[in-house]
Chains A and B, each alone.
Chain A
Amino acid sequence: MPSPAIHIAPAPHLFGGALTTQRMMFDVLLALVPVLVAALWQFRLYAVIQLAICMVSAVAAEALFTAMRKKPILVRDGSALVTGAILAFSLPAKAPWYAGAVGSFVAIGIGKVIFGGVGQNIFNPAMLGRAFAMIAFPAALGASAYVVPDSPIDGLTHATPLTALKMLGQSTGLLPLFLGATNGSIGETSALACLLGGAYLCLRRTASWEIPAGVIAATAVIGLLVQWFSPVAGWTVLHELCGGALLFGAFFIATDPVSSPLAPRGKFVFGLGVGALVMLIRKLSGYPEGVMFSVLIMNALVPLINRATIPTPVGGPVPAKKAA
């Protein structure tokens, strides 16, 4: 049958067919390039190994589980690649192979396909997989797993900045934190790379700017208060923002369009919640960093946020339905 001559589609027409899943996922991968460059500079081949393990496992898991559900295999939309990449960037450089592999299978299987595939999951798949791997293999992903004392790579021989701050009360210089010459998860070390990639994502509107804005605003305000009331020598609100996985999480993890709220106002609230929880976990819990748990907790609150932030359409609020 020939396709109709007049293309009919529901509004809005502004984006047409441009904003496809494939394009969005490709954008994310492109935005991860600066992060990858920083990771290569800091962690050398470890970054490549983790990326390869996670992306291959994620794609294999996607193919396996969608085949089990007898659904068309949508590996080509790239969402599994993005999940695998983000999971890999959130692992320690020397994480054993099974941490990434099991994490990817859980991320795709339990995090995504079990809910009905791409677009249906309620939790961020990569963070779900990482949480599973972290609880399953605490020795491989805990704070102590980041330190490799006899490594030829200089960065790996020190504790991560947030662990050093929490356990030893040591501060790290702002410039290493900004450029990424510190220890940490593969993708999180360089604030500069995350800002570059994040700016690209926001300009392309693949990620909504409201979410990172909310995360950074909440962290900055709470960081200022903490700095005001219980100062640590050499540790300011800027260190708080550049340290840990905050920027990586704000731009690449929290902005997952599936598991974040729909309306702009809701997205900002979501970001604020993530930032506040990150600071809560950093300051008052046993964990040095809390982006993963914050994003997962806020994911669980998304339906509530969505209900509370239904936007008013142009022309005033929708009148309540009269009882028939």
Chain B
Amino acid sequence: MSQDGPTAVERFLNGIIPENPTYRQILGICPTLAVTNTMESAMTMAGTVLFVLVCSNVLTSLIRGLLKPHLRILVFTLTIAAFVTIADRFLAAYMYDMSKVLGPYIPLVIVNCIIIARCEICAAKQGVWTAFMDAVGQSLGFMLGLMSIATIREILGFGTWFGKWLGWRVIPVTAPEHWSTWVIMILPPGAFITLGLLMGVMNWIEAKHSARAKKATVAA
């Protein structure tokens, strides 16, 4: 197959910031909103997506010559479902508490649009190495998105960062008349507010960036 489309390195770098799944493509919003109230669940979700995305991208890329256009979505879904089942059973066996916390959101990785989008956009068209790098880049971008939201939500909502695993307390425990954790940040509204504000920040940074780039080209 001819080497058209971005190279492996471009795919990798694109996934992290320029085509960040959370802030640029706005894909995978369901887990983004649902599991970002602690860093632990966010990192577990990001790790699961990394595993499933890498495996299904590589497998899809390997069988891309056999794909029939009208059946490709079905094949993608079955591939993803197989790896999600592996991840789900693995978590249930070795990280039982986390699997309880994440509940249905691990099986729901099957319908995470990031994965099926990467299979469709990259893996079904490009070689194994490119597909692998693409999967890693996109997963890192997704992880960055989840971590940024979970950091704000966990610090404001619980006063901790990696509270369950590492026990880091960011805001000291005080009497209720001095300070209190924000329960709303643990609840779904906190996810929507944080995601919206962070997306605004990302847009603002990009607007500044492109304005500076334009100025630089004009000057040159």
A interface list, Cβ under 8 A from B: 96-98, 102, 110, 132, 135-140
Contact = CB atoms under 8 A, between A and B. Distances in A.
A132 B194 CA distance: 13
* Interface of chain B, main secondary structure: loop
A45 B185 CA distance: 32
Contacts of B187: 135
Nearest to B156: A136
Interface stretch (B33-41, B44-52, B140-148, B171-179): B171-179
The 8 closest A-B pairs by CB, nearest first: A136-B184, A136-B182, A135-B184, A96-B177, A137-B180, A136-B183, A138-B183, A98-B179
B193 interface: yes
B103 interface: no
B18 interface: no
Contacts of B177: 96-97
B176 A135 contact: no
Interface of B: 176-180, 182-185, 187, 189, 193
Contacts of B185: 136
B187 to A, nearest CB: 7
15 contacts: A96-B177, A96-B178, A96-B180, A97-B177, A98-B179, A98-B180, A102-B182, A110-B193, A135-B184, A135-B189, A136-B183, A136-B184, A139-B176, A139-B180, A140-B180
A125 B178 CA distance: 25
A189 to B, nearest CB: 23
Contacts of A135: 183-184, 187, 189
Nearest to B190: A136
A122 B161 CA distance: 35
Contacts of A132: 184
Contacts of A137: 180, 182-183
Contacts of A138: 183
A110 B189 CA distance: 13
B204 to A, nearest CB: 9
